[in-house]
Structure 1
């Protein structure tokens, strides 16, 4: 069922919102790590409520540079490259000063969900749970920034935080490594990645989920120290969307090189089906259990990109005669070597359209009771306005 038409629709972010003092400049200090000592408060700070996003690349906005995908390697890449200046490429137009590092996109989920004045994004591409915990709890700085919970402490001490969106655990599990291995096994070794990578994920699952739970507890401790009661805010823990389709939904044949040269999805059918229908659901199930055990709201995103994945038969590449659109294009970045288009770290992440879809999911769940959990999906053939929630048991 679609949500009521009265549910607010998020406003997509436009050009990069400059990190202004006291609002978006909190993560990075000019002379080194941010000083995050924050005074304790008897109650949350008064003022307009804001949402804060924390975690890894699926939250920071990695790949937000791209509006769909195209095999065109020059110019605007058939209108897909938002970093094109008319004479060259400037990724800071999308990622600002975090380009090449945290890659916080102007279309990142929290910015797509809420207005610029109502959102802060401190997530960072490549982050693990160790980069979320406070330094006093053993947390680690990352890419020149203090641990994210320490950054949150400074924010919550001066702003009225009412929602914290968290995407974390994928890098603890080695999710990107698993996909990379599947690509190599297709292109180099002509073997399946599923047996070895399933074993690797299984070996890391218990520790990774424990660490996700610890991250949630750490966020609770930070908020309590800043004077917040548990009822003053909500934590939304989200899972990961599958960037690749099932083999039956791939528009390219398994044989030949079209999946590599044209589609940017070089994986065997068996590995595609494993990643789509076993790995991604397994991670989602683990995160759902963690959310329930630690009092967080859960947002299941495993099916959000359905029909818009890389190489999906329901989507297409942009061309000089067919510009990208949210209804027809892929919502995830295809595999790139970094030599011709963008950077490799953008591969297999939700792109600009995917970020807008994620933002709508977050805005929709924020309008629902905090005790309810949801799965988020899109409507085939529609743009991101067709994204909707279904309640989870």
Structure 2
């Protein structure tokens, strides 16, 4: 007998077939997305981050602080910004305005554990009296600025290395598995016109030279310790004090806000520097 062809599928059956095909394709497409997204999430969840250091880490200058009192920690500081964007498994923020290497050793290293695997720090400026250098240059003569700067540079050469070696050694002993990222300090000033009442250009040149000496001294000891150094000076060029859009405060009220990175300095200067070193 003659075999008749099957009846053509109904419209409903056609729609069901299309939906099944789309579901199969969508499911296959979704599988690699799961595998590409999961490692990144897992990587962040595995990070135990501790932020150490002085005012350049704590956020003094941003005018946005939590209940940390004189430490001036706040949500606009670069460690907080990095933690907010990466969601690490743990985050401990103990940087404090005014901290010296002694303060890090006495009050901050205790936040580290063998599980800590990421540490950031800015330290050394207060050990060589850089705030006093700026005050002297702001209020004194060119000669007084140069003399005080020379004293600070001598301390960078003769005193600071041993202090940094001790500090970096304590950090690596307390957190032996950690990537330790040491961020430097920016030079503070743009040259050229800077408005009435600003620090004169001769002093600005001298202060930038001192900042360069400090950066070089820190970088040398970081290299000796086998840690990661991040030079932020290039990132701040064009946006220092006297720029049209400065990322560093000039003379400010209250005075302790002066010559520290503002919110933009943390989000546009320091945060990309840390992210570039860590991811």
**TM-score category (smaller protein):** 0.7 to 0.9
Corresponding position of 2:182: 237
1:260-283 deviations in Å (ceiling 9; x for gaps): 2xxxxx31211111112x111111
1:177: how far off? 0.7
1:59: how far off? 0.7
Corresponding position of 1:348: 259
Corresponding position of 1:334: 250
1:1-44 deviations in Å (ceiling 9; x for gaps): xxxxxxxxxxxxxxxxxxxxxxxxxxxxxxxxxxxxxxxxxxxx
1:181: how far off? 0.5
> Partner of 2:275: helix, strand, or coil?
helix
With CA pairs under 8 Å and 6+ residues apart, which has the higher RCO, 1 or 2? Answer: 1
Corresponding position of 2:60: 62
Corresponding position of 1:173: 128
> Partner of 2:117: helix, strand, or coil?
strand
TM value normalised by structure 1: 0.56
Corresponding position of 2:242: 311
Question: Using the alignment, how far apart are the partners of 2:231 and 2:144 within structure 1?
Answer: 25
2:99 to 127, 130, 155: 127
2:232 to 297, 301, 307: 301
Corresponding position of 2:144: 193
Alpha-carbon distance change, 344 to 251 in structure 1, aligned in 2, over 3 angstroms = closer
1:80-138 deviations in Å (ceiling 9; x for gaps): xxxxxxxxxxxxxx211124x000021111112232742332100000000011xxxxx
TM value normalised by structure 2: 0.77
1:251: how far off? 3.7
Question: Within 5 A, what are the aligned runs for 1:246-265?
Answer: 246=191, 248=192, 250-252=193-195, 258=196, 260=197
Question: Using the alignment, how far apart are the partners of 2:52 and 2:151 within structure 1?
Answer: 26
Bigger mean CA offset, 115-124 vs 285-294? 115-124
Corresponding position of 1:97: 67
Question: Using the alignment, how far apart are the partners of 1:237 and 1:60 within structure 2?
Answer: 14
The answer for unaligned runs of 5 or more in structure 1 is 1-46, 66-93, 134-138, 140-146, 224-229, 253-257, 261-265, 316-328, 368-393
CA contact (8 A) 1:193 1:271 kept: no
CA contact (8 A) 2:180 2:228 kept: yes
Question: Using the alignment, how far apart are the partners of 2:162 and 2:131 within structure 1?
Answer: 20
CA contact (8 A) 1:64 1:106 kept: no
Question: Within 5 A, what are the aligned runs for 1:1-393?
Answer: 48-65=46-63, 94-99=64-69, 101-115=70-84, 117-118=87-88, 119-133=91-105, 139=106, 147-152=107-112, 156=113, 160-185=115-140, 190-205=141-156, 206-223=158-175, 230=176, 232-246=177-191, 248=192, 250-252=193-195, 258=196, 260=197, 266-276=198-208, 278-312=209-243, 315=244, 329-336=245-252, 338=253, 343-357=254-268, 358-367=270-279
The answer for unaligned runs of 5 or more in structure 2 is 1-44
Alpha-carbon distance change, 251 to 191 in structure 1, aligned in 2, over 3 angstroms = closer
Runs of 4+, deviation exceeding 6 Å? none
1:204: how far off? 1.5
Question: Using the alignment, how far apart are the partners of 2:152 and 2:194 within structure 1?
Answer: 28
Higher fraction of helix: 2
